[in-house]
Structure formats: structure tokens, C-alpha cells
Amino acid sequence: MRKTFWMGVAVAALVAGSAGAQELKFAPGEDSRFNWQSFEDFKSSHGDLQGQSLTLFGPWRGDDEILFNSVLAYFREATGVDARYSSSENYEQQIVIDTQAGSPPDIAILPQPGLLADLADKGFLTPLGGETADWVKENYGAGESWVGYGTYEGPEGEEHFYAFPYKADVKSLVWYVPENFEEAGYEIPETMEDLIALSDQIVEDGGVPWCIGLGSGGATGWPATDWVEDMMLRTQPAETYDKWVSNEIKFNDPAVVGAIEEFGKFAKNEEYVSGGVAAVASTDFRDSPKGLFDIPPKCYLHHQASFVPSFFPEGTELGTDADFFYMPTYASKADLGTPVLGAGTLVSITRDTPAAQAFIEFLKTPIAHEVWMAQAAFLTPYKGVNVEAYANDPLRKQGDILTSATTFRFDASDLMPGKIGAGAFWTGMVDYVGGKDAETVATEIQQAWDGLN
């Protein structure tokens, strides 16, 4: 099961009435939050495509589809291109079918680098060029990371940049209730050592630091994989993380075992977890954060991605009733920088046309990001946008985490083979909090991986 995350902001404040696809949500030049000059410049250089068509296919449905169409309207306005977006419940399978049948869309938007790499290998993607790769590297937070996720081997075995990153999600977050911190006199930890010290202080004060829940029906265990992935990025170089994802280093390598044990310092500490260690695997991840809001609080801290406010009590106001901070790094490992774990979508050309090339250029304009930013459910690592365009402070803070990142990495379990990332890894983490030691669990996961060959 892929973990699909929504931003922790109510999408109810969306496009009132959902204006038709051709209408502009914000009148050009009238809202100072937006870089209208970038729109006018793009229009001047690409306004000669009148009458051409562009088909785009991707994962966004429902509210996200409405929001993307509100952005696409500006591309239509600037170029005169008849651009049409569509999706499918089984979009991953559909894009494979369409490309193999020789009837692909012009643009494919996918959140799976592995699937895009496979399409590139088969010759179904058009290279975007070194100039675009350099643009991303220079203009995106952790730009080199994003270029890496869009670079694959083509049919001739040579690497090219094929996929432009657009729209990201953040997972390296710790949630808390500001009022609880204020009453207890606690401060936001700046390092992992501070976070551990804060956890110890909460215990000393008679409280419980953490709410952790791994329950998720048939997917029970997945929240622990995010913990381990964050710990890998905070204890090992990004290159080691990549080798782990590809099984170039084994799951029972000391680097991986060590990251699991770092997670265990929190999840397997009886005094650290609400309900005790026995409750970790049995507590549903949707119920887990509720302890933050009890009076007195059952816990003070909760590690989870940006989607988790969906499960906060109704009426919770982000930034006031609940807030978050970046999952800190170890001061003792400052050389690893400020890594961010997350996910994102990547835009590729599957049928090369002038309109498709123009759309990639459009994504380099701040306006292509700001229009979605100003509504809901959008984060970008693009450093050139006006952060004041974000719809609210929580999104702005998460955007800052993205642009400040020195390294960005996709969720490892989503990149691993399904039977590992969405199977043995999940169940192994349940076994680990249930009493097995990290090395035993890691060895069992590796044995499952070996069994795939």
C-alpha cells in the first residue's frame, strides 16, 4: 500500500464553486502575493502556441484535480494551448498500458521515481535536458536530490534528466500542542539530543513524552518505517540511505540496525510511550495523536507526516491549538546537514511536442506554484516563490523546511519492492516493538528480500 499524504490543512477552503477550467482563480496583476511578472514574461515568450493541444495525465483526483486545473488555466491563458488533464483510479497501470500501446498522454505526472525510471528505460520518456536539470539544482532546496530523483538511464544505457519535480510532501515533522508546552515551560528542541533531553524532562515531571501508534489494519507497522527512515537520514549519509533502498547494503547492515535501534530508544521505552510499549502496535495511527489534546495530556509529542491534522479533534486550529517542528538532527552528526523525508510528484514528457516543452518551462515560473500555494494542499521546494502566497502559516513553515533542506529523500518503503516496503518491513517493525531485537528483525526482512530473487 502506498502511503498517500495530504497536507494538514482543510481543503474545504478551496476554490469557491470550483470555477470552470478556463477561468482564472486570481486576476493577473491584482494580488501582490503572486509574481505576475513571471506570468507575463512566460506569456510573451510562449504565446504563439494558439490552437495546439496538450494532454496531461496524473494522480490528482477530487480536490487536487480542481486545484491543478486552477493552475493549468494560467498555462492556457498564456499560451492559447488547449490543455486537458485527466486521471484514473489505477493511474500507475494506465500509464504503462497507454505508453506500451503507443497512445500516451503528452505529459505524465507520477509520484513514483521507480515507475518513471522503468518508462525511461523502455524509451517512453523524452529527456528534459541538462539546462533544466541545472535549473532545478540551482533553484530548488536540496536541488541535487530532486535532480537525482528525476535522472534515469535511457534505452541506450545513458543517464538523462527526465522528470521535473512539482508539488512535494513533508514527513519529518513532530507535532505538539503549544498550550501544553507553555504551561510546562518546555521549548522546541533544536537537536536530537535536545529532543531526547526533553523527553527525559517530561518523564521527570510526571508526564509521558510520546504518542506512537502503528495500527493500520492490514498495513499495520507503516508509521514505524517513517521513524526508521528519518533516523537513517539523521545517522547516515544520504548515499547510504540510497544503497539501503536498492539493497546494495543489506537490511541487517549495522547502519540500518542502528537506525532501527534509534527508533527503539523512543518506541521501546516504557516511560516514553503513552499506554506503554504494549500499546504501540495495538494503537491505530489515526487515534494516536488524540492523546496530545487530552486534559491532562496523555502525551506531548507525536511524529507524523503533514497529513496527520486530518485526525485531530474537529475544530483544531493549526498554529494555535496544534503546531509542529522539524524532526531535529543530531548535533554530533552535523555534517549530515538538514535532511527531509517526504514524497513528491514528477512531471515527464511522454509525447514530445512544443506544447509539452512549454509546459515544463511553465513549471519554472513562480506563478505555476503560487496559484496552488495560495489555496491549499501544496508545498514546493522552489526557492523563487513568494512564501507569502502560502494559504496559511503551517504551510509556510513546511515550505520553509523544504527550501532549507540540504537533502531530500523519498519514503524508502515506497521505493522498495512491494513485498518488502509494504510487507516485511511493516511486519518486522511490529515484531520489533513486540520484543524482538533489531538485528533479528533486520535479518528476517533481508531474508524476505533475498527470497524475491
Spatial CA neighbour of 407 closest among 163, 256, 237: 237
What is the CATH topology of the domain spanning 32-170+342-410? Answer: D-Maltodextrin-Binding Protein; domain 2 (3.40.190)
Can you list the alpha helix ranges (DSSP code H) found in 80-167?
A: 91-100, 113-121, 130-139, 143-149
Asked whether this chain's domains 32-170+342-410 and 173-338+412-450 adopt the same fold, the reply is yes
Question: Quick count: other Cβ atoms within 10 Å of Cβ 156?
Answer: 7
Q: Rounded to 5, what percent of the chain is helix, strand, coil?
A: 45, 15, 40
- pLDDT per residue rounded down to tens, the chain (453 residues): 444 433 333 333 333 333 334 589 999 999 999 999 999 999 999 989 999 999 999 999 999 999 999 999 999 999 999 999 999 999 999 999 999 999 999 999 999 999 999 999 999 999 999 999 999 999 999 999 999 999 999 999 999 999 999 999 999 999 999 999 999 999 999 999 999 999 999 999 999 999 999 999 999 999 999 999 999 999 999 999 999 999 999 999 999 999 999 999 999 999 999 999 999 999 999 999 999 999 999 999 999 999 999 999 999 999 999 999 999 999 999 999 999 999 999 999 999 999 999 999 999 999 999 999 999 889 999 999 999 999 999 999 999 999 999 999 999 999 999 999 999 999 999 999 999 999 999 999 999 999 997
Q: How far is CA 6 from CA 164, 197, 261, 388, 451, in A?
A: 21, 31, 29, 21, 34
Contact 318, 9 (CB under 8 A): yes
Name the CA dihedral angle for 226, 230, 235, 238, rounded to a multiple of 10 degrees.
100
Distance CA 392, CA 373 (A): 9
> β-pairing, 339-349 with 107-110?
antiparallel
Q: In this predicted structure, what is the pLDDT of residue 21?
A: 43
CATH number of 173-338+412-450: 3.40.190.10
pLDDT in tens, 364-409: 999 999 999 999 889 999 999 999 999 999 999 999 999 999 999 9
pLDDT at 41: 98
In this structure, the chain runs to a length of 453
- pLDDT of 22 reads 54
Per domain, the residue ranges of the chain are 32-170+342-410, 173-338+412-450
* Position 10, amino acid: A
Please tell me the distance from the alpha carbon of residue 227 to that of residue 167, in angstroms, as a whole number.
Answer: 23
3-state secondary structure of 249: coil
**Global confidence as pTM:** 0.93
Residue tagged 533481508 (cell numbers)? 446
Q: In which region does residue 418 sit, left (phi positive, over 0), alpha (psi from -120 to 50) or beta (all else)?
A: alpha
Task: Report yes or no: 281 and 430 within 8 Å, Cβ to Cβ.
Answer: yes
Query: Locate cell 514546493: which residue?
Result: 380
Cell of 235: 545517522
Return the SS3 of 107.
strand
Q: Which string of DSSP letters, residue by residue, matches 297-358?
A: -S-SBEE--TTGGGGSPTTPPBTTTBEEEE-PPPGGGGGG--EEEEEEEEEEESS--HHHHH
Distance CA 369, CA 385 (A): 7
